[in-house]
Structure 1
Amino acid sequence: MLKVKKAGNHGILLPQLKIGLDYSGPKADHIFVSHGHADHIPWKAKGAVYATPPTSKFMAFRGVKYEVNDLPFGKTVKTNNAQITFFPAGHILGSAMTFVESDLGNVLYSGDYRTPPSPATEGFKLPDARIDSFITEATFSLPVYRWADYGKLKADITEFARSALEDDYTPIFLAYNLGKAQEIMHLLKDLGHPVQIHGAGFKLCSVYEEEGFNLGSYETYDRNTCAGKILICPSSALNNGFASNVKKKRIAYCSGWATMESRRTQLTVDKLIPLSDHLDFFELIELCKKIQPKKTYITHTPNPEVVKHYLDEAGLLSEYLDSKST
């Protein structure tokens, strides 16, 4: 089987193939980027870099200066000793799982992913081939994390906005500028009410529009006109004066971490909505059972031993992938 090494916070290196996955460093000739969140972008890439067209655009917006080769879903790139294909990951727009095939075996790297997929993505699709090694993130790695279906989540988000507006309050949704913000906008579009989004998130919305996603009626945040609009911003923006002039407002925190009631007092919010762009604990275990890889590598998780226990119970060989793994 192929050797798999952890390289940095998120980066993965396949040393025999000189292939990097979300990898910064000199040891990869070819680097494949899973999605446009800053913690997965290889800021110091040395080799040829590939990403889906939306991810390439997000990388440019976020300041990447080097050339990125567009690799659409389903199209294969061949190197001297491998072939690589992107599959939709369902996390944010453009997010991709990377499937690497070689004479030494194959690897499916999940990056960050969501199944069922976010409705503001290209969906979720697995390769048809039998998987030798599956590298999976496990952000929500405890059984307490179980999401409601999107029908209920959409109803909760829509009702929060509608009831606030009917009571003459300004609804504010706390969400990441890339991915979660646009997902909320997509879920709220049928409400037909104008949205103002944090400036850093606003510039990213054009990529969604170009890819055919309807985000409703929206504009960039304007302190002077924001009252009475639906507002979307990251949690950190509230500490920097976002909508501080609006006296009557209700705040919803949208994240998988909203499962924990303690977040309500930590953030001083009115409602917790567990809307995540990652899969929940049980979806992760069920997906591994479905894939039946020869080996599962668990990464980016606070509780690898819990995930490993459940995979052991399912008869699936697994290993926590840290910087000492080979």
Structure 2
Amino acid sequence: MLKITKAGNHGILLPQLGIGLDYNGSKADHVFVSHGHADHIPWKVDAKVYATPPTNKFMKLRGASYEVQELAFNQSIETENARVTFYPAGHILGSAMTFVESDQGNVLYSGDYRTPPSPATEGFELPDAQIDNFITEATFSLPVYKWESYEELKTQITEFAQSALEENYTPIFLAYNLGKAQEIMHLVKDLAHPVQIHGAGYKLCSVYDEEGFDLGEYESYDRETCEGNILICPSSAIRNGFASNVRKKRIAYCSGWATMESRRSQLTVDKLIPISDHLDFFQLIDLCQKIRPKMTYITHTPNPDVVKHYLDERNLTSRFLDRS
């Protein structure tokens, strides 16, 4: 039986195989990185590290100084104890699910993922195999998190920007610097209106350009010239004075957490747009039912009990993968 352990807040360790998944530590010979968000990048590593080409670029831009072996989607690498393949995860550009095959069984590690996928990614794809062990994040682990159709969310975003501009307001979208920001840029590009993005997000856009994703007309945020542009920044930047000189502005908070109306007053925003780079609760349950693994390990979640209850109703065996 294959042993699977949680190592720290995010990393997964397969000790019999010497394999770590988004793993910080010294107990793995091979570490596979799912994507370029900082909470999944290993910072203390003494192993061979593998990532998709875009993820490697993000890692370097974010300060990872060690050597990374690039592994393209649907190409496999043989370690001493396993065969490992990346599949597109649909979360952000370069995001990968990691499929590990061994004599002790196989594991599909989701990392962070989204299905249907973000249009600013390579898509979403599952291995063509029976899954023994599925390790799934459950960030949005309650039934209240049910996303509207992507067409409706795109309409909300474009109409928010367009109506603000028509009334001489500067529209500001609050979104993470990597993934969500570029997705919004991809969605508003057809408005043919210039975009300014927070400086930390701006440097990451080059990877999207290199990979052939159209982000429209954009430049780095400039306080002196930002008024009248479509602006994109993380929530923290607004608190630190981003566009504070712009009197007429409208702010939209773009996140799965925007499902909760309380975020409007907490952040002092004009509109909540619940667009996420994770799948919603029901998409998660449906995917588990489609895969029907022998065991589902639930991780990255504030509340695994509700997910487990819904999986139990479908005769799907699961348990919470807690920190070891």
Same structural fold, with TM-score higher than 0.5 when normalized by the shorter chain: yes
Q: Per-residue displacement from partner, 1:128-176 (whole Å, max 9, x unpaired)?
A: 0100000000000000000011111110000000000000000000000
* Cα offset, 1:76, TM superposition: 0.4
Corresponding pairs, count: 324
Q: Per-residue displacement from partner, 1:6-65 (whole Å, max 9, x unpaired)?
A: 001110000000100000100000000000000000000110000000000000000000
Q: How far apart in 2 are the matches of 1:142 and 1:123?
A: 25
Residue 108 of structure 1 pairs with residue 108 of structure 2: yes
Residue 233 of structure 1 pairs with residue 233 of structure 2: yes
Q: How far apart in 1 are the matches of 2:121 and 2:150?
A: 14
Q: How far apart in 1 are the matches of 2:280 and 2:239?
A: 29
1:21 maps to amino acid:
L
Q: Per-residue displacement from partner, 1:49-94 (whole Å, max 9, x unpaired)?
A: 0000000000000000000110000110101110000000000000
* Cα offset, 1:2, TM superposition: 1.0
Q: Give the equivalent residue in structure 2 for 1:173.
A: 173
Q: Give the equivalent residue in structure 2 for 1:199.
A: 199
Q: How far apart in 1 are the matches of 2:143 and 2:101?
A: 33
Q: Per-residue displacement from partner, 1:272-319 (whole Å, max 9, x unpaired)?
A: 000000000000000000000000000010110000000000100001
Q: How far apart in 2 are the matches of 1:208 and 1:3?
A: 37
Q: Which runs of 5+ in 1 are unaligned?
A: none
Q: Give the equivalent residue in structure 2 for 1:41.
A: 41
Residue 93 of structure 1 pairs with residue 93 of structure 2: yes
1:285 maps to amino acid:
I
Q: How far apart in 2 are the matches of 1:176 and 1:140?
A: 17
* Cα offset, 1:238, TM superposition: 0.7
CA RMSD of aligned residues (A): 0.4
Q: How far apart in 2 are the matches of 1:103 and 1:129?
A: 15
More displaced, 148-157 or 51-60?
148-157
| Structure-2-length-normalised TM-score | 1.00
Q: How far apart in 2 are the matches of 1:151 and 1:212?
A: 22
3-state SS of paired residue (1:3): coil
2:127 maps to amino acid:
P
Q: Per-residue displacement from partner, 1:190-216 (whole Å, max 9, x unpaired)?
A: 000000000000000010011110000
Q: How far apart in 2 are the matches of 1:164 and 1:277?
A: 25
Q: How far apart in 1 are the matches of 2:241 and 2:304?
A: 38
Q: How far apart in 2 are the matches of 1:247 and 1:285?
A: 45
Q: Give the equivalent residue in structure 1 for 2:137.
A: 137
1:2 maps to amino acid:
L
Runs of 4+ in 1 over 2 A off after TM superposition: none
1:47 maps to amino acid:
A
Q: Per-residue displacement from partner, 1:227-261 (whole Å, max 9, x unpaired)?
A: 00000000000111100000000000000000000
1:132 maps to amino acid:
D
